[in-house]
Structure 1
């Protein structure tokens, strides 16, 4: 097909049923982040032909659909090499962005989702969850934002969550969970949407695939381990849980690296969950041994509270017969008797930083993962 000039400024070149638009093509032909020069190379599929989709571009670029969506929406929190790979894939596949979908994605709702990866009842049993909810709600209000609270503890709940996100009801999402064994599947679901997502803590195995704000759990384990050495404890037991997650691994590894041989593998017990009941069951396992530990480190205050309950049941004095320490500095640790020696993670500061980061991403700024400072709080229990 020969070249045909539309007017003095525009030119359309049509060969072999492929159309390339140059110079005056409207913005809807390309996503934010593509220059006019890049867009001029894009291919517009003629009417009746199969239209190239975001899925096609994602497959070509080797990224998720969510990453493609973020490039289209001009999100600055996509790494430059990834952005270039996506733009190149758009060129190769002839992708044309849908302007109405892009406009919908860019619309602000004034709402943010806080998703709890646990049953809603845990708001009443885990003091950290309740504090997160309170502080995030207050912080969002100061930015004239509303909070939408949802749970993602079951497959059905996560299906509803994804449908909710597809509806464009929120500008961003904070995910709060202690453990996510189904990490790969859930990450793919979250990445299929262009809104910014940030994690509270380290709920995934081995690494952090999404941006996070968390306590410096490695430092917390170290300072508590040094405290145990200063106290002169010679047989130390550990109550941990969910060792498939990075957070638990950090709290355990850093502590044992410091205390060394005073902890043996036989004195490390994995509780079933982050509950007082689970902590009590793990403590009974330790106390049933002939070589009982003279001190116990529990990787959360609620587990430590369960340990203290069992010590009292057995007629053991804390800390004279067995010392107990936790991690979190939650209300549980402050109200248990005797008051708990623990590592303080500033939940309020973490919650405020989560809001700052996700709202910054809504405005186009990169999300910066943060490890927040911790401090040792010495009380009566150890």
Structure 2
């Protein structure tokens, strides 16, 4: 029998998970008898629960079965820990999500997480009892974590990139096709030595680069130069300045992973005396409001963020009602302005 002090240290599912060496979500599913947890792990957790006299809080379990009318929205920043929620893309999508959820009678609970310091970020959120379902904005470098949770938790929809055979339900743009459109425009504008501005550890950005590379290869051009760039403004500005100084003589077309990066790049090109589009062609991605406000206005690949927000909410509500839903992949659209 464990001593009383040791027993008192196991008061929550998180405490038990730490001792068992698994996630809180795994403990919760094991104690609920879910078949998704393998027999050996379930028996180990049940034995530890008996050893430490742990019983899940029945009142909390009851609350979890009740409707909270709150939808959790979580932004995992695994690939770029300094990125801010004030990023124009996040704010645009969050605004549309808030409108849609309010219209459906739900409140929104927002969380920004850094998975390196909180590896059980998704399990803890969905097991908190405070939300009816969850929308994850961006897969970041957390694809496997999201896939694992999706196996046992249905009311979750993710904004991100769809890959063949994945389990989690996604709403997002066909990023690979968007990359193809960007490269096609740069080449049509006369660029032959292309570069990609962004961090390709993010799944969506990697797909955009892959699509652009398909077109470059098809046109007999050299491999696209990857210029790794963070999304936090202070780091992005310094990194872009360095990239432009080092490579402007060897490239004549830049595909930026986002409009925000493209706008920062445009500023730096101007400061270094490089004319756009005469000396350098530039294409962004998203078609945020800033794309129409740059000088010159930014050529970009549009993803319909408003329609995406509607899709996220619609699919989540259908999943809350017990439906099995397919992912929604939206077509991108080239918006031709003056930078390419």
Into which bin does the TM-score normalised by the smaller protein fall? 0.7 to 0.9
- 1:338-377 paired onto structure 2 within 5 Å: 338-377=296-335
Match of 2:205 in 1: 248
Which consecutive unaligned segments of at least 5 residues does structure 2 have? 1-16, 18-25, 47-55
Q: 1:208 to 1:333 in 2, by over 3 A?
A: farther
Residue 189 (structure 2) pairs with residue 231 (structure 1) = yes
Alpha-carbon distance, 1:172 to partner: 0.3
1:166 and 1:316 mapped to 2: Cα distance?
52
Q: How does 1:34-53 map to 2 (within 5 A)?
A: none
Q: Output the CA distance in 2 between the equivalents of 1:109 and 1:142.
A: 16
Question: Deviation of residue 153 (structure 1)?
Answer: 2.1
Deviation string for 1:226-267 (max 9, x for gaps)? 2223222222222231x2333112101111211326653473
Cα deviation per residue 1:104-126 (whole Å; 9 max; x = unaligned)?
554222111011224797222x1
Pairing of 1:11-26 with structure 2 (within 5 A): none
Corresponding residue number in structure 2 for 1:115: 74
| Contact 1:173-1:197 at 8 Å conserved across structures | yes
1:1-382 to structure 2, matched below 5 A, reads 105-118=64-77, 122-124=84-86, 126-154=87-115, 162-177=123-138, 179-180=140-141, 182-185=142-145, 188=148, 190=149, 194=153, 196-202=155-161, 208-241=166-199, 243-260=200-217, 263-265=221-223, 267-273=225-231, 275=233, 277-278=235-236, 281-282=239-240, 284-289=242-247, 291-382=249-340
Number of residues paired by the alignment?
Answer: 300
Any stretches of 5+ residues in structure 1 without a counterpart?
A: 1-54, 56-63, 73-84
Q: Is the 8 A contact 1:325 1:342 kept in 2?
A: yes
Work out whether residues 318 and 381 of structure 1, in 8 Å CA contact, stay in contact via their aligned partners in 2. Answer: yes
Name the counterpart of 1:12: none
Shift of 1:134: 1.2
User: Would you say the 8 A contact 2:137–2:160 is kept in 1?
Assistant: yes
Query: Relative contact order (alpha carbons < 8 A, sep ≥ 6): 1 or 2 greater?
Result: 2
Tell me the distance in 1 between the aligned counterparts of 2:189 and 2:268: 22
| Residues in 2 aligned to 1:207 and 1:216: alpha-carbon distance in whole angstroms | 16
Q: Distance in 2 between matches of 1:114 and 1:317?
A: 41
**How many Å apart are 1:194 and its aligned residue?**
3.8
State the superposition RMSD in angstroms: 3.9
Q: Take 1:275 and 1:231, find their aligned partners in 2: how far apart are those partners? A: 29
Please give the secondary structure, in 2, of the residue aligned with 1:122: coil
Alpha carbons of structure 1 residues 157 and 88: separation in structure 2 relative to 1, 3 Å: closer
| Structure ID, larger Rg | 1
Tell me if the contact between 2:253 and 2:280 (Cα under 8 Å) persists in the aligned partners: yes
Query: Structure 1's 115 and 289: CA in aligned 2 closer, same or farther, altered over 3 A?
Result: closer
Once residues 66 and 228 of structure 2 are traced to their aligned partners in structure 1, the CA distance between those partners, rounded to angstroms, is 46
CA distance in 1, matches of 2:196, 2:37: 51
More displaced stretch, 259-268 vs 147-156: 259-268
Deviations 1:198-224 (A, max 9, x none): 2111399x9855221111111111222
